[in-house]
Amino acid sequence: MTPVPTPGQTVGPFFHYALPYDGDTELVPRGAAGAVRLHGTVRDGAGAPVPDAILELWQADAAGEVVQQAGSLHRDGWTFTGFGRSATDAAGRYGFTTLSPGAVPGGSAPFFAITVFARGLLHRLFTRAYLPGASDAFLDGLDTERRSTLLAVADESGFRFDVRLQGEDETVFLDFGDE
């Protein structure tokens, strides 16, 4: 018999001394060749910043390869592991220093895979931050307005990707058939 999945629960308000770690937001050192910022603000249904969310980033490297290397929790300064975490600050902002994910085979647009956790959010949410102007079969299948919530916006430091948990400009969150 297939086992039934264990339910999720909110990350709560007290994760800050457990989940964040030194170097969690720096997938590459600041100033490294090709380093970009991926950053944004998490907002709730009233448009207020969410100061107790934590985002996880999981992504391919600059060549579009999936990396299977340990070391995300204790970075050695040169191995790109593709994983990071960023708790939001008092203004609801998160930010990573990372590489732009490279093109992947098969014609799909590359993206940053993102998991959102927060106090008040009872079960994690998945989304994707695509590079500005991205287009592929998945994106083209979405309403134009909804699609725009998955597209990062280029800025002076790299990419801005805001997350709206609820409301008119609510981010597109994903169900991989497991919900």
Partner 1 sequence: MADSMTGLQPQDAIDTEMQVISESYAAGDGVETQPRRDYAPYRSSRLRHPTKDLQQADPEGIELWAPVFGARDVGELESDLTIQKGGEPVGERMVVTGRVLDGEGRPVRHQLVEVWQANAGGRYIHQRDQHPAALDPHFTGMGRCLTDADGTYRFTTIKPGPYPWKNHHNAWRPAHIHFSLFGTDFTQRLVTQMYFPGDPLFDRDPIYQSIVDPRARERLVAAYDHDVTQHEWATGYRWDIVLTGSHRTPVEQDTAEEAHA
- Positions 43 through 72 that interact with partner 1 (CB under 8 A): 44-46, 48, 50, 56, 58-60, 66, 68-72
Identify the bridge partners of residue 26 per DSSP, sorted by sequence position.
97
Closest CA to 42 of 176, 174, 171, 178: 171
Residue number, 35 or 172, with CB nearest to partner 1: 172
Applying the rule CB under 8 A, the residues between 95 and 114 that interact with partner 1 are 101, 104, 108, 110-111, 113
Contacts of 130 (CB under 8 A, 6+ apart): 109, 110, 111, 112, 139, 150, 151, 152
User: What b/e readout covers 119-137, taking b as 16+ CB neighbours within 10 angstroms?
Assistant: eebeebbebbbbbeebeee
Alpha-carbon span 118 to 125, nearest angstrom: 10
Looking at beta carbons only, is 14 or 133 nearer to partner 1?
A: 14
Q: Could you give the string, one character per residue 111-130, with x where binding to partner 1 holds by CB under 8 A and - elsewhere?
A: x-x-x-xxxxxxxxxx----
> Could you say which residues in the range 133-152 bind partner 1, by CB under 8 A?
138, 142, 146
Pick from 40, 82, 92, 158: which binds partner 1 (CB under 8 A)?
Answer: 82
Residues 3-22, interacting with partner 1 (CB under 8 A): 3-19
Instruction: Considering only residues 23 through 42, tell me which ones interact with partner 1, judged by CB under 8 A.
Output: none
